[in-house]
Amino acid sequence: MASSLQKLLDNNRTWAQNMEVLRPGFFKHLAQQQSPKYLWIGCSDSRVPANEITGLDPGEVFVHRNVANVVVHSDLNALSVIQFAVEQLKVEHIMVVGHYGCSGVMAATRGTRIGLADNWLRHVQDVRFRHRKRLDHLQEHALEDAMCEMNVIEQVGNVAESNVMQDAWMRGQSISVHGWIYGLKDGLLKDLEVSVTASDMVGPVLSRAYKRYPQQTSTE
């Protein structure tokens, strides 16, 4: 155990030394201020590192991650991060970022029990229940991809409808909420076209997004 941890410390020293050689004064400048333009709300999955995916340096993106990139109005942790980013850091863009093949979303979709996190993933199950007419007729792979996308769309709405964002827009702050999804198989980000820049846009933007998933035609 100790040797595996020492490897991380050694890697850190090597990285820090290389950064200072490539960009002299980098850490001195970084320590003086934090002024990111972006807040990334993503999944805790270790395969989805925000800075590396977007090519941004430390200090350029403020990050909040949890299982299945969920934002709910009872989660004071997420809301505190959003409020700090919006009111203190003055970020200009909030990106809710999911990814295909998300284990949390798949567990919620399949009804797989995984433990304590089942309670958290009930929020994702709620997404499927609300949109079951658009989802239940899909084959497994298509269903899981659609659920990963729909979960992002739903969370964009939750962020946009939070009191933090509503207050920010009310006072005229220029800030946008976006929904993206990441492909583990190709390393590419996809814009789900659910950007919200004002309070009155939330309903129309989400409604338009959900129409991309046609409801099953009734045979009755």
Side chain identity at residue 136, one-letter code: D
Catalytic residue among 99, 123, 134, 178: 99
Of the chain, the end-to-end C-alpha distance in Å amounts to 62
Instruction: Write the DSSP string, 34-89.
Output: ---SEEEEEE--TT--HHHHHTPPTTSEEEEEETT----TT-HHHHHHHHIIIIIS
* Catalytic hit among 29, 47, 137, 208: 47
Q: Does the annotation count 99 as an active-site position?
A: yes
Assess whether 47 carries a catalytic annotation.
yes
Q: Is 45 a catalytic residue?
A: yes
DSSP β-bridge partners for residue 66: 43
Do 31 and 20 form a contact (C-beta atoms < 8 A)? no
Q: Exactly one of 65, 102, 131, 134 is catalytic; name it.
A: 102
Residues annotated as catalytic (active site), given as ranges: 43, 45, 47, 99, 102
